[in-house]
């Protein structure tokens, strides 16, 4: 028994000597040193490329960084110029296929010591991703004087929609190109000075994630801008039905909000035939005297552009002698004898044509008067009834 104990002690002593020798050999060969590793590594996706970024924090001796990808089949060496603070290193890798990659960074110091490996996965996006994107849908495009308002459908905030690009022609003939940041709910976009009868087009801009360095685009969606109606904003009491200036039960009364001269007022300028919803603007005689240059009009100031004024005739009794639907510059209408001085006019005759339209162009903001002028002498039975007027900006 004592023999075995002595033998065991001898073996342990030899082992201890060998470990001491190994330690000495390790010290003689030099201690294995690591330089500071890449910190806070991030992958910023792009269009067939990525940007890799990381921080150098502690070690001032780092000389280069080695960046590997594609299972280390591809690599880059990035020279480092350290400052006294924390340095951010960024490197863009171009020409990548559209897929997921793993990236590795190893730092190297002046003595050739390597850092521990820092790894991070990321995606390079491309045509496959971009063609899958959908343009943001809109609920309506409201055309208003001097602008259009696009009301967008709500979207999920996680869809990656970053912004919307819109292009349109303004009233001065110039192309407007604007980008608006996307809001997920209750989004509206106002487009000032949009020109009527042109094309608005838009496309949606996506970021695949918050670190992306490239924006991805949908195809353009066109929207045809038509005439822009100015009636409600510019014309008071436009009809259907017309409003009377005072209450009462009489069939004939005076119009509210329209200017009239004494000749037009003679027989009343509204005709309520079958209830208040059938009240019309009117000029008339029925064997009860004449009207010489009776005038019903409004004066408004319009911006530059080309406009169309429309009148919808309910009825004309007899053959109208000299009655005009007209627009003229200034604060009143011309007499029928000077109708040629108007910006635009149309002679009204009978019921063969009940939809009247006149067009006129203004080179600058201008006060114009629009309405009706008529002389009623012969025949002694003449009536004009208008149920509604409308005003449009057409170019």
CATH number at 72 reads 2.60.40.10
Please tell me the distance from the alpha carbon of residue 102 to that of residue 93, in angstroms, as a whole number: 13
Residues 68 and 117: beta-carbon distance below 8 Å: no
Residues 156 and 237 in one domain: no
Closest CA to 369 of 351, 343, 347: 343
**Range with lowest mean pLDDT among 19-28, 33-42, 296-305:** 19-28
Residues 22 and 28: beta-carbon distance below 8 Å: no
Q: Is the pLDDT of residue 79 over 70?
A: yes
Residues 375 and 263 in one domain: yes
Total of domains in the chain: 3
Residues 242 and 363 in one domain: yes
Please tell me the distance from the alpha carbon of residue 114 to that of residue 327, in angstroms, as a whole number: 86
Q: Is the pTM of this model over 0.85?
A: no
Identify the H or E element spanning 89. strand 87-94
Give the confidence band of 157 by pLDDT, cuts at 50, 70, 90.
Answer: confident
Peptide bond into 121 cis (omega under 30): no
100 in a structural domain: yes
Strands 216-217 vs 366-376: parallel, antiparallel or unpaired = unpaired
CA gyration radius for the chain?
A: 42
- Report pLDDT digits (tens) over 376-389: 999 999 999 999 99
65 in a structural domain: yes
- The β-bridge partners of 83 are none
In the DSSP assignment, the letter for residue 257 is S
Residues 329 and 338: beta-carbon distance below 8 Å: no
- Report pLDDT digits (tens) over 82-126: 888 899 999 999 999 999 999 999 999 998 999 999 999 999 999
Give the confidence band of 323 by pLDDT, cuts at 50, 70, 90.
Answer: very high
- Report pLDDT digits (tens) over 261-271: 999 999 999 99
Please tell me the distance from the alpha carbon of residue 88 to that of residue 306, in angstroms, as a whole number: 58
* Containing structural domain, residue 205: 133-226
Residues 90 and 49 in one domain: yes
Residues 283 and 199 in one domain: no
Q: How much is the mean pLDDT over the chain?
A: 90
Residues 152 and 142: beta-carbon distance below 8 Å: no
Give the confidence band of 33 by pLDDT, cuts at 50, 70, 90.
Answer: low
């Amino acid at each position: 028994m004592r023999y075995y104990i002595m033998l065991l002690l001898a073996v342990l002593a030899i082992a201890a000597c060998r470990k001491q020798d190994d330690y000495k050999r390790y010290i003689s060969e030099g201690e294995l040193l690591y330089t500071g590793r890449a910190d806070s590594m991030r992958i910023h996706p792009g269009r067939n490329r990525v940007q890799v970024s990381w921080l150098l924090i502690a070690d001032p001796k780092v000389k280069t960084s080695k960046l590997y990808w594609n299972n280390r089949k591809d690599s880059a060496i990035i020279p480092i110029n350290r400052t006294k603070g924390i340095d951010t290193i960024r490197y863009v890798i171009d020409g990548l296929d559209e897929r997921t990659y793993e990236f590795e960074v190893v730092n190297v110091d002046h003595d050739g010591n390597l850092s521990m490996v820092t790894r991070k996965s990321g995606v390079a996006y491309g045509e496959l991703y971009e063609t899958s994107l959908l343009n943001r849908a809109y609920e309506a495009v409201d055309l208003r004087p001097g602008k259009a308002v696009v009301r967008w459908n709500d979207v999920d905030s996680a869809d990656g929609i970053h912004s919307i690009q819109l292009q349109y022609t303004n009233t001065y003939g110039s192309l407007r190109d604007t980008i608006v940041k996307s809001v997920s709910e209750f989004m509206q976009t106002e487009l000032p000075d949009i020109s009527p009868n042109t094309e608005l087009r838009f496309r949606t801009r996506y970021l695949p994630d918050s670190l992306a360095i490239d924006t991805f685009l949908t195809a353009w969606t066109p929207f045809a801008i038509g005439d822009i109606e100015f009636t409600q904003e510019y014309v008071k009491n436009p009809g259907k039905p017309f409003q009377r200036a005072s209450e009462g039960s009489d069939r004939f009364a005076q119009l509210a909000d329209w200017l009239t001269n004494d000749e037009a007022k003679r027989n009343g300028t509204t005709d309520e035939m079958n209830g208040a919803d059938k009240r019309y603007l009117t000029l008339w005689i029925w064997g009860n005297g004449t009207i010489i240059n009776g005038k019903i009009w409004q004066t408004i100031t319009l911006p530059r552009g080309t406009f169309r004024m429309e009148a919808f005739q309910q009825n004309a009794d007899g053959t109208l002698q000299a009655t005009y639907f007209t627009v003229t510059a200034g604060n009143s209408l011309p007499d029928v004898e000077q109708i040629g001085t108007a910006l635009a006019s149309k002679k009204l005759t009978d019921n063969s044509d009940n939809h009247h339209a006149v067009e006129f162009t203004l080179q600058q903001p201008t006060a114009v008067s629009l309405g009706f002028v008529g002389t009623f002498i012969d025949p002694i039975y003449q009536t004009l009834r208008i149920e509604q007027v409308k005003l449009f900006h057409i170019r």
